[in-house]
Amino acid sequence: GENVEQHPSTLSVQEGDSAVIKCTYSDSASNYFPWYKQELGKRPQLIIDIRSNVGEKKDQRIAVTLNKTAKHFSLHITETQPEDSAVYFCAARSGSNYQLIWGAGTKLIIKP
Amino acid sequence: EAEVAQSPRYKITEKSQAVAFWCDPISGHATLYWYRQILGQGPELLVQFQDESVVDDSQLPKDRFSAERLKGVDSTLKIQPAELGDSAMYLCASSPLEANTEAFFGQGTRLTVV
């Protein structure tokens, strides 16, 4: 089955700087890669996703890149703000059995 | 805006008791997931349904956990007997049949076993 690894587990950046979180996956049949943001005590909320037929997607300060050959994808947040502080999860969904498997999460801390 | 409904929001139960959680997915969503999330960790898939059929329950502790989605709509997750280590957030999510689409999460049920 699919296995998703996420790094780093904790990331601390100065407000205004960029943050990058990386994930790798194992199942070549995976074709959908969402990123979720989870604030303490709340449910995960989708912030951006990418499908396997594109290499990059951007939405304002957030971008995701996908390298299918290397089986890795990354989340990029530019001009970080205090409200970006949260736990971020990557996930991969198989096109064969629709499993949605998650990474372990990255706690992003924005220092004022 | 359609949402995934879960109940109860919070549940406190004594160990060895039975507990059940309910999930009503977004109308028309064929895929339903139950996840368990321990504080500080990522969601762990417990069971995945495609309509009324179980697609994956390999991580479901079947000696004490059961899940059903009899009519392919709403779903129930049961634990009997509950153990202290079952304390966690139980999240339900649903998505349309297409593989490359977003999964929508309910608010979750926070279970505390005492």
- One pLDDT digit (tens) per residue for chain B, 114 residues: 789 999 999 999 999 999 999 999 999 999 999 999 998 888 899 999 999 999 989 999 999 999 999 888 999 999 999 999 999 999 999 998 776 678 899 999 999 999
Chain B residues whose CB is inside 8 A of the A103 CB are: 42
Q: State residue B113's pLDDT score.
A: 97
Chain A residues whose CB is inside 8 A of the B95 CB are: 98, 100
Contact across the interface for B99 and A89, Cβ inside 8 Å: no
Q: State residue A6's pLDDT score.
A: 96
* Torsional sign, CA A33, A38, A42, A48: negative
CB contacts < 8 A, A to B, total: 64
Closest Cα in chain B, distance from residue A55 (Å) = 15
Closest Cα in chain B, distance from residue A58 (Å) = 17
CA A58 to chain centre: 13
Contact across the interface for B100 and A94, Cβ inside 8 Å: no
Q: State residue B100's pLDDT score.
A: 67
Closest Cα in chain B, distance from residue A93 (Å) = 7
Contact across the interface for A99 and B58, Cβ inside 8 Å: no
pLDDT tens digits along A23-35 = 999 988 898 999 9
Distance of CA A81 to CAs A16, A39, B27, B59, Å?
6, 14, 36, 37
Contact across the interface for A104 and B105, Cβ inside 8 Å: no
Contacts (Cβ under 8 Å, ≥6 apart) of B61:
none
Q: State residue B39's pLDDT score.
A: 84
Measured CA to CA, the distance from residue A78 to residue B76 in angstroms comes to 41
Nearest Cβ partner of B99 from A1, A98, A101? A98
pLDDT tens digits along A38-88 = 998 888 999 999 998 889 999 999 999 999 999 999 999 999 999 999 999
Q: State residue A54's pLDDT score.
A: 85
Q: State residue B1's pLDDT score.
A: 73
Chain A residues whose CB is inside 8 A of the B45 CB are: 99-102
Measured CA to CA, the distance from residue A22 to residue B114 in angstroms comes to 38
Measured CA to CA, the distance from residue B53 to residue A9 in angstroms comes to 35
Contact across the interface for B102 and A34, Cβ inside 8 Å: yes
Measured CA to CA, the distance from residue A6 to residue A91 in angstroms comes to 9
Q: For chain A, give the mean pLDDT.
A: 93
Closest residue in chain A to residue B34, using alpha carbons only: A100
pLDDT band at A100 (very low <50, low <70, confident <90, very high): confident
Structure tokens at B47: 């069971």
Q: State residue B99's pLDDT score.
A: 61
- Residue among A112, A82, A96 nearest A32 (CA): A96
